[in-house]
Amino acid sequence: MKLSELISGFPFPYNLTDGDAEIAGITSDSRLVQPGYLFFALEGGTTDGHNYVTAALEGGATAIVGTKPLTGLKVPYLQVNDSRVALPHLAAAFYGFPARRLIMIGVTGTDGKTTTTNLIYQILQAAGFKSGMISTINAVIGEQVLDTGFHVTTPDAPDVQRYLAQMAAAGLTHVVLEVTSHGLAQYRADACEFDVAVVTNITHEHLDYHGSYEEYRSTKARLFMSLGSTLPKLQGNPRKAVLNRDDSSFDYLSQISTGTLLSYGFHPDAEIRPVKIRHETDGLSFFTTGIGQQFPINCRLLGDFNISNCLAAITATVFALGVSPEAAQAGISSLQGVPGRMERINLGQNFTAIVDFAHTPNALQQALQSVRQLTHGRVIAIFGAAGLRDRQKRRMMAETSIELADLTILTAEDPRTELLDDILAEMTAGAISRGGVEGMTYWRIPDRGEAIRFAISMAQPGDVVIACGKGHEQSMCFGEIEYPWDDRTAMRAALSEHLVIPGPHMPYLPTQDL
């Protein structure tokens, strides 16, 4: 595609110098440039892509996009006001605007995004739609499953558009996209032309990046504001906003959304509600009621928060897209679980071991309340708090665990370049503020593997041991190094040692050397 064709419908001001060029690909990473690529010089918090223009040209870039005046490039230069805003639109144009050929469902929120995304996908599959999914765990394109990375957020805009193009080419009709706040703030999901927008909740998270809860919430709101800009599609354009009536974000989102509102939740004013709820050791059941319909749901997931996730998925499919209740029933019941989300690890021990992704105060609260329903024994919680991230939640999460768990073990969780001892000290202050007593109700164990071992050594028949914060993630960051790490492998290693049976080795972390 010619650069001139690429920008023919570009909706923002620009200045193009030095003619035209054939474009074979798009990237913002100079290391990935191949001959014929259009290189985007993005400005970030720590790097400036304009410093890598020479490297991009050496790699074969045939055109450059940036915001600063550049001369002497000998290739076309497209100067724009904001290259991050420009990137998704030009990526969409390069791939032929694939979202216009798809029904696009976006799912955002603090907690529950991945589970809700998977539930919607399963319902669409059960309804007979050829569907795709892009989550923070993987991208599913027909029979193809692609890993989307280690510490992941919404993929970069060129990757999102490439996935969508592959889905459209494969004849898919519906796509569910998990949309993170970082993805929205950095415009990665722009040009996705959403037809249905879903929110799970908006609670305390990522304030280190967004600065305040209000700014974080307004970033999430971009998904709902985008509904009005979606162009009409031959396959229909419902423009539905699916909001959680129980969440504090409801009033705000209901005012700014440009789509028709649908609400779900336990709140008596929610349009879609659960009734006749039953919690079992192997899942839960309830009846969905609202807008003239009532039908039963059986789910293999655990906890009230997963009732909310199910309701969000049902509202987005049955009530927003007209999917049959039978498809919702079949899709939800078929979901065995989501990797690292309340995932049970069973090697025959006489207590319950669970790995969960809960890494926010709200998610930890929901997880601990849910596992409390599974046992008459004790709840033993293991978690940490990430370095170079929201510091407020360190204290809050420790406070939550002291209040809701019987025993709390504070440990490492991606300390990055911060001192792990300092992070644990901040968490300890939260534990003490709620009456925690070190060595009796809470412990500090820097090495995460040893923390899991310690929790298992204390477990008695009927107890629940839950490791929170890492879930499906495959690495842990110390300094600037990502060490291979999987909480599920670590839990199996500790359990096999405890039971004296064959099992995996405990993964290595540098805290083992202390």
The model's pLDDT over 142-157, given as tens digits with 9 standing for 90+, comes to: 888 887 654 456 788 9
Q: Is residue 298 part of a domain?
A: no
Q: Which CATH number is 419's domain given?
A: 3.90.190.20
Burial class (CB in 10 A: 0-12, 13-18, 19+), 427: buried
- Looking at the structure, tell me whether residues 364 and 220 fall in a common domain: no
Does 47 reside within a domain? yes
pLDDT, position 205: 60
* pLDDT at residue 307, as a whole number: 96
Domain harbouring 310, CATH code? 3.40.1190.10
The answer to whether position 113 is within a domain reads yes
Cα-based angle 427, 215, 397 (whole degrees, multiple of 5): 15
pLDDT one-digit tens code per residue, 158-184: 999 999 999 999 999 999 999 988 889
Top pLDDT among 139 and 425 is at 425
Tell me: do 351 and 312 sit in the same domain: no
Quick check: is 104 in a domain? Answer: yes
Q: Both 408 and 455 in a single domain?
A: yes
- In-domain check, residue 294: no
Percent with pLDDT over 90 in the chain: 82
What SS3 class is residue 504? Answer: coil
Residues 353 and 489 in one domain: yes
Task: State percent of the chain over pLDDT 70.
Answer: 97
- Tell me, what CATH number does 47's domain have? 3.40.1390.10
To 10 degrees, the CA torsion angle through 228, 233, 235, 240?
0
Read off the pLDDT of residues 336-391 as tens digits, 9 standing for 90 and up: 888 899 999 999 999 999 999 999 998 999 999 999 988 899 999 999 999 998 89
Distance from C-alpha of 261 to C-alpha of 273, rounded to nearest angstrom: 15
58, 83, 108 - which closes a domain = 83
State the DSSP H helix or E strand holding residue 79, giving kind and residue range, or none if neither: strand 77-80
- Residue 398 clears pLDDT 50, i.e. is over it: yes
Assess if residue 12 is contained within a domain: yes
What was the pLDDT predicted at 151?
A: 47
Does 126 share its domain with 61? no
Same domain, 354 and 322: no
Residue that is last in its domain, among 57, 83, 109: 83
For residue 476, is it within any domain? Answer: yes
pLDDT tier, 281 (very low <50, low <70, confident <90, very high otherwise): confident
- 324 and 423, same domain (yes or no): no
Asked whether residue 358 falls in the same domain as residue 462, the answer is yes
Q: How many domains does the chain have?
A: 3
Structural domain includes residue 499: yes
Over residues 53-68, the mean pLDDT reads 96
Q: Examine the pLDDT at 66 and tell me if it is beyond 60.
A: yes
DSSP string, 137-153: SEEEETTEEEE--SS--
What are the φ and ψ backbone dihedral angles of 434, each rounded to 5 degrees? -105, 20
Residues 328 and 370 in one domain: no
Res 211 pLDDT > 70: no
Please report the pLDDT score of residue 137 as a whole number.
77
How buried is residue 219: exposed, middle or buried, by Cβ count under 10 Å (0-12/13-18/19+)? buried
Alpha helices by DSSP H, listed for 46-82, are 53-58
Can you give the length of the chain in residues? 514
The arrangement of strands across the sheet holding 77-80 comes to: 14-17, 77-80, 63-66, 37-40, 25-27
pLDDT exceeds 60 at position 208: no
Residue 330 above 80 pLDDT?
yes
| Residues 437, 461 share a domain | yes
pTM score: 0.85
Question: What domain range is 314 assigned to?
Answer: 98-265+303-334
- Average pLDDT of the chain is 93
Is the domain of 73 the same as that of 51? yes
Residues 60 and 105 in one domain: no
3-state SS class at 100:
helix
Residue that is last in its domain, among 33, 53, 83: 83
